[in-house]
């Protein structure tokens, strides 16, 4: 019987060892998630957990927070349903100017969003901004407004410039989105 008892003990230890490892992995994941929420909340000043969860579900981390500021440029690039290579270059150039290094997590996410039209990104960004802008300082709001509207216009104009006027090459969808972005800032 001693042999059976020993084997049962080994089996029991193995079972609980695997269960403990699984629970430990889940606990670490929960802790990392909670830390990410706290970091984003600290840096964005957003207290709306649903808005933070939505950002995290889209892959936004503290590292990619700067990229969130570039989302309107991506939205404008995709506004007409097509992404022109010049629009892509303009978005990536703006990312580098913002300090996002090629190959960094932020840059990789931007590249991913430029390869495939990111479903739900506009809604998530709008939710984020509606919560963020009221708690941002007036100086930061004005800086964001200028950066976002200028960058969005640069992207929209980058695809053409036919007949001597870049404005003529901006699609109706791009114009409408830029107007919507302006309205978002003007609501405050």
- CB hemisphere CA count around 120 (13 angstroms): 7
Q: Work out whether the CA dihedral 101, 122, 133, 51 comes out positive or negative.
A: negative
- The mean pLDDT value for 147-158 works out to 94
Domain boundaries, the chain: 1-44, 49-186
Please say whether the beta carbons of 37 and 84 come within 8 A.
no
Indicate if the pLDDT at residue 52 is higher than 50.
yes
- The mean pLDDT value for 163-187 works out to 83
pLDDT digits (tens, 9 = 90+) for 95-135: 998 878 899 888 898 999 999 999 899 998 998 888 888 87
Which DSSP letter does residue 127 get? H
Q: Between 25 and 67, where is the model more confident?
A: 25
pTM: 0.67
178: three-class secondary structure by DSSP? helix
């Amino acid at each position: 019987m001693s042999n059976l008892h020993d084997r049962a003990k080994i089996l029991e230890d193995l079972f609980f060892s695997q269960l403990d490892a699984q629970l430990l992995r889940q606990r670490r994941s929960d802790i990392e998630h909670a830390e990410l929420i706290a970091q984003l909340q600290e840096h964005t000043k957003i207290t709306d957990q649903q808005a933070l969860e939505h950002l995290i579900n889209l892959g936004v981390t503290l590292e990619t927070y700067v990229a969130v500021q570039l989302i309107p440029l991506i939205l404008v690039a995709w506004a007409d349903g097509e992404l022109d290579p010049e629009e892509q270059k303009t978005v990536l150039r703006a990312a580098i100017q913002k300090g996002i290094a090629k190959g960094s997590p932020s840059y990789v996410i931007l590249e991913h969003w430029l390869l495939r039209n990111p479903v739900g990104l506009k809604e998530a960004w709008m939710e984020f901004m509606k919560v963020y802008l009221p708690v941002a300082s007036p100086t930061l709001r004005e800086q964001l407004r200028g950066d976002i509207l200028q960058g969005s216009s640069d992207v929209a104009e980058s695809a053409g410039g036919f007949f001597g006027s870049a404005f003529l090459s901006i699609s109706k969808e791009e114009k409408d989105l830029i107007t919507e972005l302006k309205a978002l800032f003007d609501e405050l």
